[in-house]
Chain A
Amino acid sequence: MNKILADKDLTRRIEEISDQKLSDCYQCGRCTAGCPFAEFMDVPPNQVIRFMQLGLKEDLLKTQGPWFCAACLVCQARCPRGVDIPRLMEAVRTIHLRAKEGLIDVPEIDKEFLLDAPPLALISAFSKFTY
C-alpha cells in the first residue's frame, strides 16, 4: 500500500537538483541497454528513473544503482528523449550524501592502491562520494 503513496516532494527535489523533467522519459530502456555498469546495478538506470516518476521513495533510496554510475554519459548521448540520465543519478547520490549517507570511507580504501593511484582518481571519487 505504502508504495502507491507517491512522494511528490522527492520527485520535485530530484527534478530541481538534476534540472531534468522526469515525464520526458518514456521508458524505452535504451539507457540501460548501453550502460557499461548496468550489470553491477541492482536496479538499472531506466528503472531508477521509473521509481522517480512514480515517486517510490523507499525503493529509490534503497537502490544501489546510482552508486555504480561512472557518469560516462553514454546514455545521455543516446537517449531519444534528451534525458540527462547521469544528472538524475547524481541527484539520487546528492540526496544521500547531503544526509551524510553513502560517504566514501577512506580508511577502507586499500593502502597499496592509495599509494599507486593517480591523484585524479582519488579526487574524482572524493568529489563524487562526499558532499
Chain B
Amino acid sequence: MKLQYYPGCTLYTKAKPLNTSLHACFNAVGIELAELPHWYCCGTTFTLARDNRMSLIAPLRILAKAQQEDGKVLVPCSICYNTLKRANYMLNEDRETLDILNEHLEESYDGNEIVLHPLEFFRDNEELVRSKVKKSLKDLKVGCYYGCLLLRPQQEIQFDDPEAPTIFENFISSVGATPIDFPLKVECCGSYLVVTSPDAALESSYKLLRNAQGNGVNAVVTSCPLCYYNLDALQEKMTKAHPDFKQIPVFYFSQILALALGAEEKNLGLEQNKVSPYTILKEYDLL
C-alpha cells in the first residue's frame, strides 16, 4: 500500500528527525510514503485577512497537484496541515475565489482533496500499529502536547475536541506508553512570536513544560516542528531565566512510535534533540 505524502520545507531541514522517523514507522507497518513530486512551501500560517487571496495560491497549487496523484495526502507538520486544511475549507465555502484562482493558475482544483494527519491515519488503523509494536514503552510518562494548529478552528479542522482532545493520548497508549494529561496541552507555545517577541514565546513554552512536569510527565511529544523548537531549543534559556527549572526531553510523536516499532536508531534522529533524550531512554531500557 502507498500513501501520498507532503513533507513540507522544515522536514527537509531542521525537522529531519520527524521525516526520517515517520518513514521508519510507515515502513514498519508496510506502507510506502510516496512523496508528492515537485512540491513547494505551503506559505505557513493561514492568512486571517479575508481580502488576501494571494496566500491561498500556494495551498491551492499543492492541493491541485496532490489531487492529480491521489485523493488523499498525508501531512505530518501541524502548520502545513492546518494551512492546507483551512485553505481547502475556505475554497469549498467560497467557490468564487476558487474559480478565480483556478482560472489564474490554470489549475482545475475542485476542493475535494483529503488532507490527512498521521495521527488520524494511526487512529483509523490502530490494530495495524498495535500488532507491530516490538518494545514496551510503558514506563514512559508521556505528555501529549497538541498546541493550537491540530485543534483550531474546530469547525474547519475537525481533528478532535478542541478543549479535551484524546487522539494523541490514544495513540500513545496504543504504542504501549503511558499518556499523562496536563491542562496546558491545548495552549500556545508562542509560535512565530519566537522571532519577534522571544520573551513571550519563552515564557509560554516554559509554562507549558512546568505544567506538564507538575502533572508527572517525563517526556513531551508533539507533531509540530515550531512547537518542537520552542519547547526543546528554548530550554537552555528557560534554565537561565528560571534556575529551578529541570530540563525535560521533547520528542516528535513519530520518534516515539518508531522506538516502539523497533526501528533502527539511525532513523530516529535523536542526536538532533537539543535536550538529550538518552538519559531517560536508557533509564527505561529503551535504547
Report A's interface with B, CB cutoff 8 A.
16-19, 36-37, 40, 67-68, 70-74, 76-77, 84, 86-87, 89-91, 94, 104, 109, 113, 116-125, 127-129
Task: Report how far A78 CA is from B73 CA in the complex, Å.
Answer: 30
Query: Which of A16, A71, A76 has its CB near the most chain B CB atoms (within 10 A)?
Result: A71
* B258 contacts partner chain A, Cβ-Cβ < 8 Å: no
Q: Shortest beta-carbon distance, A79 to chain B, in Å? A: 11
Q: Are B194 and A18 in contact (CB under 8 A)?
A: no
Q: Are A74 and B192 in contact (CB under 8 A)?
A: no
Report B's interface with A, CB cutoff 8 A.
8-10, 13-15, 41, 43-45, 47-52, 55, 77, 79, 148, 151-154, 162-163, 186-188, 190-200, 204, 207, 225-226, 228-229, 233
Query: Which of A40, A116, A117, A129 has its CB near the most chain B CB atoms (within 10 A)?
Result: A117
Q: Which residues of B contact A71 (CB under 8 A)?
A: 45, 48, 148, 191
Q: Which residues of B contact A87 (CB under 8 A)?
A: 48-50
Q: Are A120 and B187 in contact (CB under 8 A)?
A: no
Among B52, B192, B204, contact of A124 (Cβ-Cβ < 8 Å) = B192
A36-B187, A73-B152 as given contacts; A123 in contact with B44, CB under 8 Å:
yes
Q: Which residues of B contact A70 (CB under 8 A)?
A: 148, 188, 190-193, 200
Q: Are B55 and A117 in contact (CB under 8 A)?
A: no
Q: Which residues of B contact A73 (CB under 8 A)?
A: 148, 152-153
Q: Shortest beta-carbon distance, A61 to chain B, in Å? A: 17
Q: Which residues of B contact A74 (CB under 8 A)?
A: 148, 152, 186-188
Q: Which residues of A contact B194 (CB under 8 A)?
A: 117, 121
Q: Which residues of A contact B226 (CB under 8 A)?
A: 118, 120-121, 124
